[in-house]
Amino acid sequence: MTDWSTKVVVIVSASFGHGWRAGVRHVGWACAQTFAAAGASVVVVDPDDVGMVELCGEVRAGGGRIDSISADLTDPAALERARDTVFALHGRADVLVNAHTAIEAGGVEASSYQSWREVVAFDLLGPVFAAKAFLPLLKTGQAQSVVHIGSVDGALGHPLFPSYSAAKGGLNALTHVMAHDFARHGIRVNCAARAMLAEAHAPVPPQMAELEAQTMLGRSGTPDELAAVVMFLASDEAAYVTGAVLPVDGGMSALTPGCAAHAKQNKA
């Protein structure tokens, strides 16, 4: 079993970036709580200073170890400064979680050039820049691992979120080539491809209910459930797993789109 008390985990992004949900807490927040609860030393890099005060307060109230660093996640120089701060705090990094999530709604025709620049810069170039910045610290870590937060939209494409889908599709390819590139340093690279998430017991909006009907499990996932998969991919138990894009979607992508709901109707 992984002894997380000996691990330094860096989580890049814990709130949504640009787009219609900017500033809302997301899976990076849940990852910070999950790793800290297991005993890891957690460092969160995120530009939302107010949110990070809240997150650190929650984690420390539960006895966890956490620090936060404010940085522009699309600026390589800012990420390198964040890396230097992590080095000053811990001297190394064992796990890097790239939890970048920026979403802009709207089809290709209606979306602006600027929104495409912002989403791709955050969701695709952000993980590239973070991995390059923190690679020197990962090289000195223990059983090192990078985990990207991807999306099933990167494989299937979501017509309402084309820029997000394109960026996450690029992240799938990046996972494969980065795993090859970093293997010589003993660093594993994987991707947890999420689907829709909602807080447990939260009311389900009508549009979400339609999507939930297309999953085998008939519900949304929770941020904590995705965080648990991220922790597994980063753990010693996954020591022979690298270059993988693992769907965490309740079975949504395992069947031809739309057929799950149709099959349920025929059984009724």
Nearest-CA neighbor of 33 among 244, 222, 253, 250? 222
The catalytically annotated residue of 64, 164, 227, 260 is 164
Q: Rounded CA gap, 97 and 40, in Å? A: 13
Q: Going by C-beta distance under 8 Å and a sequence separation of 6 or more, which residues neighbour residue 252?
A: 152, 195, 211, 214, 215, 216, 260
Q: Rounded CA gap, 259 and 243, in Å? A: 29
Q: Which two tokens stand for residue 16?
A: 């949504």
How many other CB atoms are found less than 10 A from the CB of residue 95? Answer: 29
224, 169 Cβ separation under 8 angstroms: no
135, 17 Cβ separation under 8 angstroms: no
Which residue in this structure is represented by tokens 């494969």? 176
Clarify whether 164 is annotated catalytic.
yes
Got the DSSP string for 17-35? -SBTTTT-B-HHHHHHHHH
219, 250 Cβ separation under 8 angstroms: yes
Nearest-CA neighbor of 114 among 106, 47, 174? 106
Provide the annotated active-site residues.
164
